[in-house]
Amino acid sequence: MPTAPQAAAPILSLPSRSQRAGSAKTSPVRDLLALTARPEVISFAGGLPAPELFDVEGIRAAFDAVLDSPGVLQYSTSEGDPGLRDAVARRYSSDGLPTAASDLIVTTGSQQGLGLISTTLVDPGDTILVEEPCYLAALQTFALAGARVVGVPYVGDDLDLDALDRLAAHHGPKFFYTVPTFQNPTGRTHDVEARRTIAAIAQRRGFRIVEDEPYRQLRYSGDALPSLAAFAPGHVISLGSFSKVIAPGLRIGWIRTTADIRSSITIAKQAADLHTSTIDQAAAAHYLASGRGELTLSRIREAYAARRDAMLEMLPSALPDGSSWNRPDGGMFVWVRLPEGRDAASALPAALAHDVAFVPGTSFFSGIPDERTLRLSFTTYSPARIREGLSRLGATWGTGR
């Protein structure tokens, strides 16, 4: 006997994604930038280290050397490899910032550090102050933590310190996030006086500072500057990374934390991924101890300095008249402001038609964007290729250059 058809189960709509997940913005220029993957495009858009400068031989030797060591293929502690933490601590101390290995927690890239700090310090609705413009993936991390992000503007190339003080007084932020040296996206650096003042404001207004320093060692001219932690040791959490000085694929960074939140950050790390790859940490420690890290870094610095100089020499002929840009002492980026009436995002399709690309600055703003801005990265190509790319860029502006 045929059975009666079963009544279809009512279709229930699935619970929606969290409000936090919806609040992390994606960039409207993403699709356009996907076009930069065409091999004929000279892309100044990415923020990638130059792959030909990776010390493949040295990294291979480090992995070979540690592979047989006890424990490197085993689970390990959440704080990280003791030898690696010790090596990083000694580097801070010899740079004038006394640091013990126990002050450090190894992270899976400094990007994870941003997430762990947000988990540890931010409740939904809390305010965080950031530089305006700011590193995009930090903005995404803070949005995912449910933070209210408020931008502190620049006056020219200097952070508006009065605005920092005013906004801190008004919002009572949990922390101020800064990339004090060769910032992403602008390449700007806070000078010693600005650092001293930022630290003093944090102490007076009672907020923390999260200083993110992936570019600190990529200095090609000028003198090294003290860490913000040197001015307000109890207020500053510092992040570091090997991504720009060894290789980003290693995914090794660290948090130099203050004692009061060390155990909370360690628990957040444990909950996130138990620990950063044991073998990668052991190889990084071995690599540093071998002395090859310093050699590689000087090669990287030398190459990037020549690339920066090639870009700075060409920019006057590659940009419309009335454009302005900075001359960073290091890092990977130059920040450009086009003249009145120009809009960087609208100019990108024409640039792509000429097989050259940049990132419009709008993606990096937490508040109202400056549509005249764009970011150029100078690390990826040889000086000759940079000159070729910039001469293509110069051809895209049409009349009125």
Ligand X SMILES: Cc1ncc(COP(=O)(O)O)c(C=O)c1O
The answer to whether residue 243 forms part of the interface with ligand X (CB under 6 A) is: yes
Displacement of CA 115 from its chain's centroid (Å): 13
Tell me the CA distances in angstroms from 296 to 161, 220, 225, 287, one per residue in order. 37, 14, 22, 11
Q: Which of 36, 43, 99, 110 binds ligand X (CB under 6 A)?
A: 110
Give residue number: closest CB to ligand X: 109
Query: With CB under 6 A as the contact rule, which of the stretches 26-34, 35-43, 140-148, 241-249 interacts with ligand X?
Result: 241-249
For the segment 72-101, give every residue that binds ligand X (CB under 6 A).
none
The answer to whether residue 238 forms part of the interface with ligand X (CB under 6 A) is: no
Q: Which of 184, 362, 379, 396 binds ligand X (CB under 6 A)?
A: 184
d(CA 147, CA 173): 10
For the segment 120-159, give every residue that binds ligand X (CB under 6 A).
135
Could you please report the per-residue DSSP string of 343-373?
-HHHHHHHHHHTTEE-EEGGGG-SSS--TTE
Query: With CB under 6 A as the contact rule, which of the stretches 103-111, 320-328, 334-342, 378-386 interacts with ligand X?
Result: 103-111
Closest alpha carbon to 50 in 316, 364, 327, 301 = 301
Closest to ligand X by CB, 73 or 224:
224
Q: Which of 41, 45, 47, 232 binds ligand X (CB under 6 A)?
A: 47
For the CB of residue 341, give the shortest distance to ligand X in the complex, in Å: 30
Helices 109-121 and 262-273 pack at an angle, to 10 degrees, of 120
The answer to whether residue 241 forms part of the interface with ligand X (CB under 6 A) is: yes
For the CB of residue 184, give the shortest distance to ligand X in the complex, in Å: 4
Q: Which of 212, 280, 329, 355 binds ligand X (CB under 6 A)?
A: 212
Residues comprising the chain, all counted: 401
For the CB of residue 68, give the shortest distance to ligand X in the complex, in Å: 28
Q: Which of 253, 320, 330, 360 binds ligand X (CB under 6 A)?
A: 253
On whether the CB atoms of residues 201 and 164 are closer than 8 A, the answer is yes
On whether the CB atoms of residues 181 and 331 are closer than 8 A, the answer is yes
DSSP 219: B
Paired residues of 373 in beta bridges:
337
Query: With CB under 6 A as the contact rule, which of the stretches 11-19, 108-116, 264-272, 357-365 interacts with ligand X?
Result: 108-116
| Buried residues in 375-398 as b, exposed as e (16+ CB within 10 A) | bbbbbbbebeebbbbbebbbebbe
Chain residues binding ligand X by CB under 6 A are: 47, 109-111, 135, 179, 184, 212, 214, 241, 243, 248, 253
